[in-house]
């Protein structure tokens, strides 16, 4: 919706908005690329295969949506960097610099997300898997999806999967 409003404003000569839109697209571009590059952290191959066996269309559409998001962000960024727009911005006394801070903000966002995931994995991952195996069985592999603490206890959500099924497993334990 924001991109539609931005297109309307740009079409009506709001050159200041092209800078913001270029910045946002640069950030989105890096976030989408980070999403593509870190998928193996969030979903190991066994889980992807189990999801494909359970819902093939959903499994195929998810990466297509991310690649579309990447392509759309790239297209918008290129559109804000076209010669007529840059010339109009220069004539109006506005900056034509590449939105480096947008790329940096996207990279920072990806770094925070990956760092948060790795910190969660290192701090509670193995213990959560051990408790899940005891509670739900060793016939599943477990992928940690989220963890939190409340009143001195650690809670974790995991995806349990094998060749035949996927389960949602919630466990809690003392730190």
- Which of 2-11, 78-87, 110-119, 131-140 is predicted least confidently? 2-11
CB 142 within 8 A of CB 128: yes
| Model confidence at 75: pLDDT above 80 | yes
Mean pLDDT, the chain, as a whole number? 90
Percent of all residues in the chain with a pLDDT value above 70, rounded to a whole number: 93
pLDDT at 84 > cutoff 90: no
Which two tokens mark 171?
Answer: 């466990």
> Between 15-37 and 100-120, two packed helices, what is the crossing angle to 10 degrees?
30
1 Cβ neighbours under 8 A, 6+ residues apart = none
- Considering only residues 139 and 80, tell me which one the structure prediction assigns the higher pLDDT: 139
pTM: 0.81
Confidence of residue 103 (pLDDT cuts 50, 70, 90): very high
pLDDT at position 20, please? 86
Q: Is pLDDT at 83 greater than 70 in this prediction?
A: yes
**In the prediction, which pLDDT does 2 show?**
62
Mean pLDDT of 104-121: 96
Q: What are phi and psi of 12, to 5 degrees?
A: -100, 20
Cβ atoms of 117 and 163 within 8 Å: the answer is no
Domain parsing of the chain, residue ranges: 2-173
User: How confident is the model at residue 91, as a pLDDT?
Assistant: 86
Position 3 scores a pLDDT of 62
Q: What are the tens digits of pLDDT across the range 35-62?
A: 999 988 889 999 999 999 999 999 999 9
Q: What average pLDDT score do residues 109-122 get? A: 95
């Amino acid at each position: 919706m924001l991109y539609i409003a931005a297109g309307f404003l740009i079409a009506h000569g709001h050159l200041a908005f092209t800078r913001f839109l270029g910045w946002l697209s640069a950030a989105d571009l890096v976030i989408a690329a980070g999403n593509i590059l870190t998928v193996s952290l969030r979903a190991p191959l066994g889980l992807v295969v189990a999801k494909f066996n359970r819902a093939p269309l959903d499994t195929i559409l998810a990466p297509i949506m991310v690649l579309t998001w990447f392509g759309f962000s790239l297209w918008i960024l290129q559109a804000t960097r076209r010669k007529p727009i840059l010339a109009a911005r220069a004539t109006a006394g506005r900056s034509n610099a590449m939105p480096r801070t947008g790329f940096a903000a996207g990279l920072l966002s990806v770094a925070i997300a990956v760092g948060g995931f790795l910190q969660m994995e290192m701090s509670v991952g193995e213990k959560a898997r051990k408790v899940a195996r005891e509670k739900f069985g060793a016939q599943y592999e477990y992928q940690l999806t989220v963890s939190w603490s409340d009143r001195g206890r650690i809670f974790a959500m995991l995806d349990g999967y094998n060749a035949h099924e996927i389960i949602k497993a919630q466990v809690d334990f003392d730190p």
